[in-house]
Every structure is written in C-alpha cells, then in structure tokens.
Amino acid sequence: MNSVILATASRYLLTLILMFSVFMLLRGHNEPGGGFVGGLVAAAAFALYFIANGLDAARSILRVDPLRAAVLGLLLSFLSTVPSLVSGQPFMTALWIDTGIASIGKVGTPLLFDFGVYFLVLGITLTIIFALAEEECSL
Amino acid sequence: MNRIIILPVLVPFATALIMLLFPRRIAAHRLLGVLSTLLLSVVSAILLNSVLSGGILSLQAGGWAAPFGITMVVDTLSCIMLTMSSLIGLTTAIYSIGSVDEKQEHNFYHPLIQLLLMGINGAFLTGDIFNLYVWFEVMLISSFVLLVLEGKPEQFEGAIKYVTLNLLSSAIFLAAVGILYGMAGTLNMADLAMRLPLLEHRELLSVVAVLFLITFGIKAAVFPLFFWLPASYHTPHIAVSAIFAGLLTKVGVYAIIRFFTTIFTLESTPLIHQILLWVSAFTMATGVLGAVAQYDLRKLLSFHIISQIGYMIFAVAIQSPLAIAGGLLYIVHNIVAKTNLFYLSGIIRLISGSWNLRQIGGLYATYPLFGLLFLVPALALAGIPPLSGFWAKLTVIRAGLEAQEWLAVGVALLVSMLTLYSMIKIWNEAFLKDDPRGEDTGNRGQEYHALSSGKKIALIAPVVILGMLTILSGIWFEPLFVLADRASLELLDASIYSKAVTGGMP
C-alpha cells in the first residue's frame, strides 16, 4: 500500500502501540490484560507497520526472526518454573521478591511467565502474518 | 521425590526448546533427541521404582490443593505407560537418525517428536480431565504437523481426514467435560471417583459416559470410529508412522481404561460396559478383515492396530481384575511389537524399493537374519508361545472365559487365527516367494546399501532392542504380570487412587 500518511503515522503509532502493549502486559496480574493480550497488541503494531511499509521494512524493524521471539518466550516461561523446582516447592508455585521500591512492588515468577507468553504470542502471530504475506507477495 | 513427577513433561519440552534455539544444528538435534529420551527412560524407571515401593505419587501444581488445582498423579498404570512411551521415544529417536532425511530434519522433525512425547506423557500423568484435554491437544497438534512434514499430496489427503475427525472428537470431549462439570462440580479424577456414586441427579450420567466413550473411541480407533486411521497412518514417513502406531491410539485406550474403571464403574454405568463388549468384538473382527485384504505393508499393519485395540477394549469391558491386567499386558506387548513391525517395514522398503507385497520377494534368501528379526514381532502379534503376545492374549481370553462371554471369546480366537494368517502372508510374499522382478535385481537394495554404516546400525538397533524385549518379556513373564496385576487392583479400587490424591474425602 502506498500511502504517505499511513507510512508516516505508522512510525509514531508503532512506538505508541508498543508502549501500550507493555502497559497491558504489566497491569495484567490483577486487572484485564496480561501477556497474551499484550503480545497480540504488540503484534498488531508490527502488522500495521507491515501494511504501511511492506514486509521487508517490518522484518528489519523487528530485528529478530519472529520464530526466534516465540522460542525466547517459551524459554522465559520455562525458566519461570525453575525456581519452584529448585527450591523444593510444588511445580509452578509462584515465588515473589519484595523489592521495597514503592513504584515497583513485588516481582516474581508469574511476571516472568507473563513476559514469556508476551513474546510467544508476539512471535507466533507475526510468524503467521509474515508467512501469509510472503505467500501473497509471491503470487 | 514428588518433584520428579513433572520431569516426563519437562524433559521433552526443554529439549524441544534447545533444539528450536539452534534450528540449523541437525547433528545436535539427533544427539539431543537420543539423550532426552534416554533421560526420560531413567526418569520413568525411577518413578516406577518409587511407586512400587511407596505407592501412588501425586503433585499439586502451584501448590493449589487437589480438587481446585491441576493434579499430576503417578500410579502403576501411569508408570507402565510412561516407561513404554520413553522406550518407543528412544527407539524412534535412534531409528530416525537412519531413516529421516535432512530436509525434514530442517523442518523441525526432532523438536516435533519431542513435543509429541511431551503431550503423550502429559496425558499419562494428569489427574484432571480438563488438563487431559489440553495434553490431547498438545499431542494432536504435533501429530498434525508430523503427518504432513514431507508435503506429499497423499499426506494432505490423509491429514484432512485425520484432523477433521480428531477436531470433532475434541469438540465432543469439551462438551462432555462441560456437562460433567455441571453435574459433579469437579473435574479432578480422584475427586470424581468419590463424588459420582453420591450424585443425586444421575439422568445424564450415561449420556456423559457415552460422549467420553465416543471421544476416546475416535482417538483409540475402535469400531465404528476407526476409519481415519487406515486413511492416514500409511502416508507419513515410516518413523512417524511407527511412533503413531505405537503410542497415539494407546493414549486413547489409556483414557478409556482410566475413565471406565476408576471414574465410571461397572455399577454406575452398566450400559457402557455392554457397549464396550460389542465394540471390542467388532473392532477385532473388522480390523483383521481389513488387514487380510491389504497388500500395502503399511496399510496392512495399520489395520492390525485397529484389530489389536479390540483386545484391549475387550479387557476393559469385562472389568475383572484378571481382565484389566491382561489388557495392560496386551498394551505393553502391542506397543513393542507393533512399533517394531513398522520399523521393519521401513527397512523392507529400503531393501526392496517398494511397500507393495506383490512387488517384494526373496528377502529370506538374501537376508536370512533379517527374516528372523521380522518373525519375532510377527509371531508375537499372532500370539505364538513363548513370546509376549501369547501370555497377553492368554490372560485376556482366560478372563473372557471366566466372565462367560463366549461369543466375544470366540471372535477373539478366530481373529488370532486371521492375525497369524496375515503375518504368514507378509512372510510368504516378502520373504519366501521368489523376487517378482526375477534375476534382474539390478537396483535391489540400492537405497539401503547407499546408507553409511552408522545409519544402518541406527536402523537395525531399535529392531533388535524391541525384538529382544518381546522375547525376554515372554520368557520372564511373571514380573510383568505382577506389575499389571498391581495396576489393575489400583484401577478397580478407586479409593486407593482417591486417597493418594485428595486424602480420601469426597
């Protein structure tokens, strides 16, 4: 699509939507949101950028292969279960550390798990979108 | 000790992750596949040992107590199944080194096998029905991809039938889970086993049981829901066919055993056990009749899977301790022998260049030792003493006679004869008769001889391992029977299971 307005806007929108997706990710523990929704929103940001600027531009601004991002997400989620295994608690028990900083509060393994879900959803969604886009371009 | 319960799921998951992090290191994938399945075998041996000495183990994920959280339970049955899945995983990992080509390996063959194993192990471990559904999906999604990995048209044709039927089964599964939860207010198997007998409104109990029977019937490929199996199992790569044949349908059988002994007992749903009896007789008969008519090796063996499932279902239908023990022995024997036959047929294909029995011949003259390797699982499947199949079949049929199910026992015996006939047919066609291509066997075995010696060993080693196990479990049958007997007692007395998980309170 060749639209100057969309192409220009998408550059600013990308940053904004990505920030929003992180906001969604972080508020997810007690309120609507979380890794899954955050990942979808982030994927939407890149999808918009791809529609405005083309596949190559979207791939280069993402920097990593989306499948890699998905694997990284799985790895993060996997790592979030390790503390419970090592400390002898039942598998996947949530462990928290109180940072003592008022604006951050308690940080724990569920947050790591959510980060994993975020990257997994982002990676898989973009893998699918890019694969479909490639097919369309080659036709 | 309880911490290691989760390892049969975590080990293949972590392995798949490491493989995916390095998607181009094929040699590392192969090595990791073997190492991970070796580790799995060790873990299942430890679990088996601790269950035998200390009783049922359970783990509440996240520390949420039993009826509310996700429970993982290891009883003797789970241990047996886990051991089998690790064994088949290990042999398949070795066999794949010899048989799977690099293009598929680059398309994530090895990680997918690991994820498949993760789903299978999860299904064997879980003590929660909804969680079982999730593991089924993990297993199915991996199997969908493995089915079409080579991208051949006939694979897609088979996959469409396979995927459609399995999605239907999953939908029915979900519906049944919903109804059951509405009735009983819990999905924890141990909790359900205690609550169902006390339930006030039991009108829907039979309906739910039938829905579960259909779901698991599709997965286990019983009559009349089996037709996706012969339509799809001969299409993927032979290593994939082998692991599917060995493990996937058995997960369905495992679920049937778990549900219709511990949760839906003979007293609560007598109708189901009547249905199971008829289903088993028809499954045995139609499966073997389909096999007798086939000339394609893989199709013949696929129909045999169905026929053999019939024996296992027959055991569940009778429900006596002896029958359940026999059914479990049958599963163990069948997983080993059936997978072995698929491995062997892959090698036959490499030697002779064809799947079609009409175009193969004279293998015994050129490869006599290979002929012997084939005879072990083939005769075991037909139930010739002293191989493992004889004892398993004997136990099931003895239980059938004690329950006075003459008709089904008659069918079982007749089907045994036909099984023997179809195995002799493979023997006659592929090994004994002269090569139909006559003296001019210029390119015979070229594909096989072109392989490096390492690959040849990787092809033959799993066949030898499984063949030895078939012989050994036939000779030292007693410890196996004691194990199966123990598992069947645990299954039929739901209070043991419930006590281990929830502390026995309904």
CB contacts of B72 in chain A (<8 Å) are: 91
- Which residue in this structure is represented by tokens 């790895």? A75
Q: What is the pLDDT of residue B442?
A: 57
Determine, for residues B20 and A81 on separate chains, whether the beta-carbon distance falls below 8 Å. no
Query: From CA B505, how far away is CA B188, in angstroms rounded?
Result: 13
Q: Is A97 on the interface with B (CB under 8 A)?
A: no
**Angle between helix B453-475 and B76-99 (nearest 10):** 150
For A90, the closest of B13, B21, B60 (CB atoms) is B60
C-alpha angle with apex B353: B348 to B358, nearest 5 degrees? 80
Statement: residue A99 has pLDDT above 70: yes
Q: How far is CA B49 from CA A61, B30, B41, B326, in A?
A: 53, 29, 12, 21
The CA angle B257-B261-B262, to the nearest 5 degrees, is 110
Contact assignment for B61 to A74 by CB distance below 8 Å: no
Is residue B249 within 8 Å of B341, Cβ to Cβ?
A: no
Min Cα distance A84 → chain B (Å) is 8
pLDDT computed for residue A85 by the predictor? 80
pLDDT mean over A80-103: 78
Closest CA to B91 of B15, B34, B36, B141: B34
Residue type, A118: Y
- Full DSSP string of B123-183: HHHB-BHHHHHHHHHHHHHHHHHHHTTT--HHHHHHHHHHHHHHHHHHHHHHHHHHHHHHH
C-alpha neighbours within 13 Å on the C-beta side of residue B138: 23
The phi and psi torsions of A8 (rounded to 5 degrees) equal -70, -45
Cis omega before residue B386 (within 30°)? yes
State how far residue A128 is from chain B, nearest Cα, in angstroms.
15
Which residue's entry shows tokens 């309880």?
B2
Write down the pLDDT at residue B458. Answer: 87
Asked if B61's CB is within 8 angstroms of A90's CB, the reply is yes
pLDDT at B506 (0 to 100): 45
- Interface contact flag, A90 B17, Cβ < 8 Å: no
For residue A4, pLDDT over 70 is answered with yes
Q: Kindly list the residues from chain B whose CB atom is less than 8 angstroms away from the CB atom of residue A78.
A: 10, 13-14, 17
Q: d(Cα B19, Cα B441) in Å, to the nearest integer? A: 41
Comparing A13-22, A100-109, B117-126, B182-191, which segment has the lowest mean pLDDT?
A100-109
ipTM over 0.90: no
- Mind telling me how many Å the CA of B114 is from chain A's nearest CA? 15
Residue of chain B whose Cα is closest to the Cα of A83: B62
For residue A111, give both structure tokens: 């947050």
Q: What is the pLDDT of residue A139?
A: 52
Q: Do B6 and A91 touch (CB under 8 A)?
A: yes
Distance from CA of A105 to the nearest CA of B (A): 22
Both tokens of B425, joined, read: 């047919």
Tokens of B107: 């398309």
Pull the structure tokens for residue B266.
């003979």
Per-residue pLDDT in tens (0 to 9) along chain B, 506 residues? 577 888 899 999 999 999 988 888 888 889 999 999 999 999 999 999 999 888 888 888 777 777 788 888 898 999 999 999 999 999 999 999 988 888 888 888 999 999 999 999 999 999 899 999 999 999 999 999 999 988 888 889 989 999 999 999 999 999 999 999 988 888 888 888 888 888 777 778 888 889 999 999 999 988 888 888 888 888 899 999 999 998 999 999 999 999 988 888 877 778 888 889 999 999 999 999 988 888 888 899 999 899 999 999 999 998 888 999 999 999 999 999 999 999 999 998 888 878 888 888 888 888 888 888 999 999 998 888 888 888 999 999 999 999 888 888 999 999 999 999 988 888 888 888 877 776 555 566 677 777 888 888 888 899 999 999 999 988 888 888 999 989 988 888 888 888 877 764 44
Residues in B closer than 8 angstroms to A87, CB to CB, are: none
pLDDT of residue A120: 93
Where along chain B do its domains lie?
2-502
How many separate helices (H) and strands (E) can be counted in chain A? 5, 2
Among the partner residues B17, B23, B62, nearest to A78 by beta-carbon distance: B17
